[in-house]
Amino acid sequence: MPTKIVFGFGKLPSIATEVASLKVTKPLVVTDKTMVKTGTVDRVITSIKSAEVFDGVEPEPSIEVAQAVATRVRSGRYDGVIGVGGGSSMDMAKVASAFATNSGDARDYVGNNLFKNGPLPSIMVPTTAGTGAELTVTSMVTVDGHKQWINSPLLLPSVALVDPELTMTMPKNVTAATGLDALCHCVESYFSNLSNVITDAAALKGVSLIVGSLSRAYEDGTDKLARQSMSLGALLGGVALHARMVYGHSIGYTLATRYKLAHGVSCGLPLPYVIANYSVACGPKMAGLAEAYGLKHSGEDPVTDGREVAERTLNLVKLLGVPSTLKDIGVEEADLPDLAKECLETYSRPNSPLVFDAKSMTHFYRMIWEGRLY
C-alpha cells in the first residue's frame, strides 16, 4: 500500500515531521467543530503555524458539505490537506485533496474513478477507532437522502497517523458505534467475493483484536491496551475494506438516514444476521472466522460455526447498548418491502456470494425486524 502508516501512543507530535517530509508549507485542516472545541485541532497544528482550519464537516456529510470543502480548498493556495476526526472528517479531507486539483462541482465526482489530476498530499489523523478511512479510497456522501460514494485510488492518503491516545476521550456510545463499524468492515470484507489472502489476513486479525477489546474499551475508556487494539483493528479494517462490503452495509445505508442512526449503529445492527445467513455461502471460511472470535469450531459444519459467531456478535451488540432488531428503531413491518427494494436497487452488491431477489431480501429484513438469526 502506498500510504505510510505511523502508529502508536504519543505519535501525534510527529505530524510536523510528516508535513515537512511531504514538502507541505500551507495545509488545510479539515475537521468538525467538536474537534476544534475539545482542543484536538490545536494539538495537531501546534507545530504547524501555517495551517488553516475548515471546521464545517457534519456527521454523515451531505454533498453540499463536500461542495463547501471544494470551494474552501480551491480558494486558499493550499499545498496539502490534514484530516482530523472520525470517518466523516477524513472522508471530506480526502476529497478536499482531490478537489484542489480537479475543477467542477462535487456532484460531478459521485461515482468511481472520476478524478483526472493527482491530489494534494494528505495526512489523516483519526480520533475514533472505526471507519478505517485513513486507509481507503472511498469518501461517503449523502446525496438527496441516499448514501453515495466518491471512489478513486487518488483519494488514498499519503500518511495515516494513528495515535490511539486520541481515542481515549470518546464517549461510550461513540466507542460502541465506531467499534461495531470496524468489526463490520472486517467481517463483511472477509465474506466478499473480491477478498484475497491479504484482505483476509487483515480482516481476521482485525476481528480478533476488536472482539477481544471492544467491550473493554466500552466499559473503561482509559484502558490503553484496549484502545490500542481497537485502533489497530480499525486500521486493519481499512485494509480489508479494499475487498468491499456485502449486504450488511447496504442494509445499514437504508436505515441510517430514515431513522437517524449513526453509521456504526445502522451497520452493526444487522451484522449478527448477516453472519448467520452468509454461513452457507461462505462455508469454507466460517471455521477461520470462528477461530478469530476465539470460539471452538468443528470445521465441518459451517452453519453451526456461523450461528455460534452470530450469537456471540448479537450478545456483543446488546452489551454495547445498540439496538438489535428493526423493531427497536421503530421500523414498521409494512415498510420492510420498501426497504428491501431500496437495498437491492440503490445499494446492490455484485461482490456478495449470497444473492438476493426482492422476496428473499424482504424475508431477510423481516428476520432482522423479528430478531430471528435463523
Q: Looking at the structure, tell me whether residues 81 and 128 fall in a common domain.
A: yes
| Residue 358, pLDDT score | 97
Q: What are 164's strand-pairing partners?
A: none
Q: What is the mean pLDDT of residues 208-223?
A: 97
C-alpha cell at 235: 486500521
Query: Looking at the structure, do residues 163 and 177 belong to the same domain, yes or no?
Result: no
Could you read off the pLDDT of 171-201 as tens digits, one per residue? 999 999 999 999 999 999 999 999 999 999 9
Task: Assess whether 279 and 363 both reside in one domain.
Answer: yes
298 or 35: whose pLDDT is higher? 35
Do 210 and 134 belong together in one domain?
Answer: no
Per-residue pLDDT band for 133 (boundaries 50, 70, 90) equals: very high
Half-sphere exposure (CA, 13 Å, Cβ side) for 261? 30
**Shared-domain flag, residues 59 and 203:** no
Same domain, 177 and 83: no
Beta-carbon contacts of 197 under 8 Å, excluding residues fewer than 6 positions away, are: none
Handedness of CA 63, 142, 111, 56 (dihedral sign): positive
- Model pLDDT, residue 257: 86
Domain residues for the domain of 265 are 172-370
Does 224 lie in the same domain as 85? no
Say whether pLDDT at 149 is over 90: yes
Q: At residue 142, what is the residue type?
A: T
Question: What integer best gives the mean pLDDT of the chain?
Answer: 96
Q: What CATH number is attached to the domain comprising 133?
A: 3.40.50.1970
pLDDT computed for residue 296 by the predictor: 81
pLDDT for res 299: 67
- Residue 279 CA, distance from chain mean position: 23
C-alpha cell at 165: 491516545
Give the 3-state secondary structure of residue 206: helix
Name the pTM for this structure.
0.95
Residue 298 has pLDDT above 70, yes or no: no
Cell readout for 85 is 476526526
Q: Are residues 320 and 266 in the same domain?
A: yes
H helix count then E strand count, the chain:
15, 9
pLDDT digits (tens, 9 = 90+) for 315-368: 999 999 999 999 999 999 999 999 999 999 999 999 999 999 999 999 999 999
Which residues, including other chains, have CB under 8 Å from residue 156's CB and lie 6 or more apart? 1, 2, 3, 135, 136, 137
Q: Any bridge partners for residue 58, and if so which?
A: none
Both 78 and 16 in a single domain?
yes
Query: Can you give the pLDDT at residue 368?
Result: 98
DSSP-based three-state secondary structure for 316 = helix
H-type helices in 195-335, by residue range? 197-219, 224-240, 247-259, 263-268, 271-278, 283-292, 302-319
Q: Which three cell numbers stand for residue 95?
A: 476529497
What is the tens place of the pLDDT at every residue in 45-54?
A: 998 989 999 9
- Cβ burial of 292 (10 Å; 0-12, 13-18, 19+) is buried
- C-alpha–C-alpha distance, residues 178 and 264, integer Å: 5
**Structure letter (DSSP) for residue 86:** S
The C-alpha cell that represents 255 in the structure block: 436505515
Do 302 and 281 sit in the same domain of this protein? yes
Are residues 235 and 268 part of one domain? yes
Note the maximum CA span of the chain.
61
Q: What would the grid cell of residue 191 be?
A: 465474506
Give the model's pLDDT for residue 186. 98
Using a pLDDT cut of 70, give the percent of the chain over it: 99
Residues in the chain: 374
Residue where one domain finishes, among candidates 113, 143, 167: 167
- The residues near 295 (Cβ < 8 Å, ≥ 6 apart) are 305, 308, 309, 312
Range with lowest mean pLDDT among 10-24, 88-102, 126-140, 285-299: 285-299
From the list 148, 76, 162, 131, the residue with the least C-alpha distance to 268 is 131
